[in-house]
Amino acid sequence: MPDKFFINRWILKYKIARKWNITMDERKIESVGIYANMHKRGVIQVARKLLDMLAELNVVCECELAKALQLERKANFSGLGQCDIVITLGGDGTVLESARNLAKYDVPILGVNLGRLGFLTELLPTELEIAIPEIVGGKFTIDSRMMLEAKILDYSGETLIGLNEVTIDKAGSPRTLHFNVIVSGNAISHIAADGFIVATPTGSTAYSMASGGAIVVPSMNALLLTAIAPYTLAIRPLIVSGDDIIRIEYKNRDEKNPPNLTVDGQVT
């Protein structure tokens, strides 16, 4: 059973191509990867429209989308990572998934919103005809975002990365969690709560905010530490440097109800 979690800022590998009307440089896009959430309504129509607009470029689609479109050129995430840019079709969850899987390839991600909120997506389908020619011509900026790396110590040694947050929760158990929070070697607090969130500035508007955490600008070099339903009012949200290393030591020795470590609300 895991009793220690090690959370650190990761290299700034998630990059979102945005503000296509501002010229960053004149480099041209020659290869494009497309990744889609196949459960979104209208995704096939938007993908076909995008392919028509990118007909003169080297375009590869993620395997499931390529199959739906009956395309021979297909790729997994490692193949998409070799492209000049990856366009996601879906919602914020699609961007989060792509960011985790493409982080090590250092490829810009452009999100097209087919979902609801669209905090992380830059374009609507109706904006593609104007935006895509500008982006292909190199007229865009790249907004780098902090990511988190989480390691489970004294257990599996598994490492996970996330864009929004890393969450430790009690996995449906009725019992309160007890853990120590250590920031760069300094003991901050013993906490009794339903869970704990370590969020990036990007994730400050997600689960962290819903749990009472602050909202900060995405470019800020910071980590947000927020307890979920703490046992005492003395436990307040905390903002620390983005360079700090967060160590969480889980104190409950309950083999039947170990805590969950979840990244971006998607990977547990």
Catalytic residues: 92
Inter-residue contact 115 to 40 (CB < 8 Å)? yes
- How far apart, in Å, are the Cα atoms of 245 and each of 182, 227, 232, 237? 8, 17, 25, 17
